[in-house]
């Protein structure tokens, strides 16, 4: 079991830095620091930072952080640094406890004589399947630096797309939450106040006012039932969506939603083409590559189509022929694959198709973002407008009654 050591050292520029490092003993910690070209000023046993309750401990890292790890590995290996030294250096400076712990364990595997890919296979929850397979292919071909470079570009691109989607959905989500809060406040504070006024007047109310008052009364009288029930329902839906069955159902539905279905389809095709291109270019056999891509594509419909194509390829069919039976791969994809197969440049053609569909995903996200934002604002304005109309309509009736009484009184005088 590795121990934690706190250190104070001076880097190559003369600056003093502090940090923590995991190692089996004090000598190993000093050795790891020296591999980072640090001059040790102080090194002593330390205490690991608390990581919280294990129930909530994450088993994966964000794609952005993993892409940074791939870039660091690619840079150091390309510069001639050994895998063991690269892993140790990244583990020592990582601010993510999970990454530091995993990489430290990988370092032990390397010291025991195992390869980098074998160490990755031991931590399948941390290293994606495509990364492990690519590293294994790179070790076999002696081109690990090139493989790591491709992986860095791949995960950087995936991180960019996810960030675009996240940015596009943040504002609409905020507007949606704001709409819910505004409706609850109006229904539980404003509507009851006007309901009392209207009841004192004993006037006949429009149907929309009566309807909203009924909802308001229910929310006031049964809030201790309604809100906990809604909270439990949301929790159960979110929990179900994380199960295998729920996730697959959501993935199938995502392809049928107008506009968003196109985004889900293009995203899956782009991920399929990019992953396949990298695997084929690295010398991974097609059958094995398709098995990996089926897990990477992140959509059960496309995974099933890819596995079906894999069976066809194992029987002697080409990739384009195997995919042609699926309605989810566009004619453009199939045509480009056939051209690549005939020209003997399937990996290059897959890369070009991936570029096209990844650009389509980014364009669609930007377009949906520009459409959704004003629609959400109009939606919020519409809800508030309906509530205000339900309040103002009876008041207009009261005003007309006052005006009529004033007219009768003036005529009598």
Please tell me whether residues 293 and 395 are part of one structural domain: yes
**Taking a C-beta distance cutoff of 8 angstroms, is the pair 39, 17 a contact?**
no
**N- to C-terminal Cα separation, the chain:** 102
Give the end of a domain, one of 124, 155, 186. Answer: 155
Number of domains in the chain: 3
- Residue 55 falls within a domain, yes or no? no
The pLDDT value given to residue 236: 92
Please tell me whether residues 355 and 284 are part of one structural domain: yes
Please tell me whether residues 133 and 15 are part of one structural domain: no
Got the DSSP string for 249-314? HHHHHHTTSTTHHHHHHHHHHHHHHHHHHHHHHTT--HHHHHHHHHHHS--HHHHHHHHHHHHHHH
Distance from C-alpha of 82 to C-alpha of 73, rounded to nearest angstrom: 10
- Residue 53 falls within a domain, yes or no? no
- Residue 163 falls within a domain, yes or no? no
> Can you say whether the dihedral through the CA atoms of 42, 48, 50, 51 is positive or negative?
positive
Please tell me whether residues 24 and 106 are part of one structural domain: no
Please tell me whether residues 90 and 231 are part of one structural domain: no
The pLDDT value given to residue 233: 92
Distance from C-alpha of 220 to C-alpha of 339, rounded to nearest angstrom: 66
Please tell me whether residues 109 and 242 are part of one structural domain: no
- Residue 54 falls within a domain, yes or no? no
The pLDDT value given to residue 404: 42
Nearest to 90 by CA among 109, 64, 68: 68
Residue 175 half-sphere exposure toward CB, CA atoms < 13 A: 19
**CATH code at position 116:** 1.20.81.30
Give the end of a domain, one of 126, 155, 184. Answer: 155
The pLDDT value given to residue 87: 86
Provide the 3-class DSSP secondary structure of residue 192.
Answer: helix
Q: Give percent helix, percent strand, percent coil of the chain, each to the nearest 5.
A: 75, 5, 20
Backbone angles phi, psi at 19, to 5 degrees: 180, -170
Domain that holds residue 15: 3-45
Please tell me whether residues 33 and 65 are part of one structural domain: no
- Residue 292 falls within a domain, yes or no? yes
The pLDDT value given to residue 232: 93
Please tell me whether residues 375 and 262 are part of one structural domain: yes
**Taking a C-beta distance cutoff of 8 angstroms, is the pair 301, 329 a contact?**
no
- Residue 313 falls within a domain, yes or no? yes
The pLDDT value given to residue 53: 37
Nearest to 328 by CA among 276, 251, 275, 274: 251
**Taking a C-beta distance cutoff of 8 angstroms, is the pair 175, 156 a contact?**
no
Provide the 3-class DSSP secondary structure of residue 237.
Answer: helix
CA angle centred on 123, ends 120 and 126, rounded to 5° = 95
Backbone angles phi, psi at 41, to 5 degrees: -100, -35
Tokens of 377: 């604002």
Please tell me whether residues 326 and 387 are part of one structural domain: yes
Please tell me whether residues 106 and 254 are part of one structural domain: no
Please tell me whether residues 149 and 221 are part of one structural domain: no
The pLDDT value given to residue 256: 86
Which residues are CB-contacts of 274 (< 8 A; sequence separation ≥ 6)?
154, 157, 350, 351, 354, 358
Report the greatest alpha carbon distance in the chain: 110
The pLDDT value given to residue 63: 82
Number of Cβ within 10 Å of residue 318's Cβ equals 17
| pLDDT values of the chain reduced to their tens digit, one per residue, 413 residues | 456 777 777 776 667 777 777 666 677 777 777 777 777 777 777 654 444 433 334 557 788 888 888 888 888 888 888 888 888 888 877 778 888 888 888 888 888 888 888 888 888 888 888 888 888 888 877 778 888 888 888 888 888 888 887 877 787 788 888 888 888 888 888 888 887 777 777 767 788 888 888 888 888 888 888 889 989 998 999 888 888 788 888 888 888 888 788 888 988 898 899 888 888 888 888 888 888 888 888 888 888 899 999 998 888 888 889 998 888 888 989 999 999 988 888 888 998 999 999 888 888 888 877 787 788 888 888 888 888 888 887 777 655 544 444 443 344 44
Please tell me whether residues 398 and 374 are part of one structural domain: yes
């Amino acid at each position: 079991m590795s121990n934690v050591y706190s250190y104070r050292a001076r880097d190559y520029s003369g600056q003093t830095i502090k940090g923590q490092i995991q190692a089996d003993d004090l000598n190993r910690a000093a050795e790891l620091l020296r591999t980072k070209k640090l001059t040790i000023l102080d090194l002593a046993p330390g205490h690991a930072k608390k990581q919280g309750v294990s129930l909530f401990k994450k088993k994966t890292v964000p794609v952005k952080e993993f892409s940074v790890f791939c870039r660091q590995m690619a840079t150091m290996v390309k510069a001639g640094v050994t895998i063991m030294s690269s892993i140790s250096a990244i583990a020592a400076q990582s601010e993510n406890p999970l990454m530091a712990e995993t990489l430290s364990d990988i370092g032990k595997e390397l010291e025991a004589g195992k390869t980098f890919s074998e160490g990755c296979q031991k931590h399948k929850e941390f290293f994606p399947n495509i990364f492990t397979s690519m590293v294994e292919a790179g070790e076999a071909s002696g081109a690990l630096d090139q493989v790591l470079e491709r992986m860095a570009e791949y995960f950087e691109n995936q991180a960019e797309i996810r960030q675009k989607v996240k940015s596009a959905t943040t504002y609409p989500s905020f507007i949606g939450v704001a709409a819910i809060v505004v409706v609850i406040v109006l229904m539980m504070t404003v509507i009851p106040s006007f309901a009392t006024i209207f009841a004192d007047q004993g006037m006949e109310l429009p149907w929309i006012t009566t309807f909203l008052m009924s909802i308001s009364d229910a929310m006031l009288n049964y809030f201790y039932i309604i809100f906990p029930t809604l909270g439990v329902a949301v929790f159960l839906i979110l929990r179900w969506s994380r199960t295998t069955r729920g996730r697959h159902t959501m993935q199938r539905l995502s392809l049928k939603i107008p506009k968003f279905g196109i985004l889900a389809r293009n995203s899956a095709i782009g991920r399929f083409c990019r992953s396949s291109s990298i695997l084929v270019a690295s010398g991974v056999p097609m059958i094995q590559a398709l098995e990996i891509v089926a897990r990477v594509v992140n959509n059960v419909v496309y995974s099933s189509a890819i596995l079906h194509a894999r069976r066809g390829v194992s029987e002697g069919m080409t990739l384009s022929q195997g995919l042609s039976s699926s309605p989810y791969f566009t004619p453009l994809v199939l045509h480009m694959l056939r051209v690549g197969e005939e020209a003997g440049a399937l990996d290059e053609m897959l890369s070009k198709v991936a570029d096209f569909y990844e650009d389509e995903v980014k364009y669609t996200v930007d377009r949906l973002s520009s459409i959704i934002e004003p629609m959400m604002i109009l939606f919020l304005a519409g809800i508030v407008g309906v509530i205000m109309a339900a309040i103002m309509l009876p008041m207009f009736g009261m005003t007309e009654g006052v005006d009529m009484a004033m007219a009768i009184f003036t005529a009598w005088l």
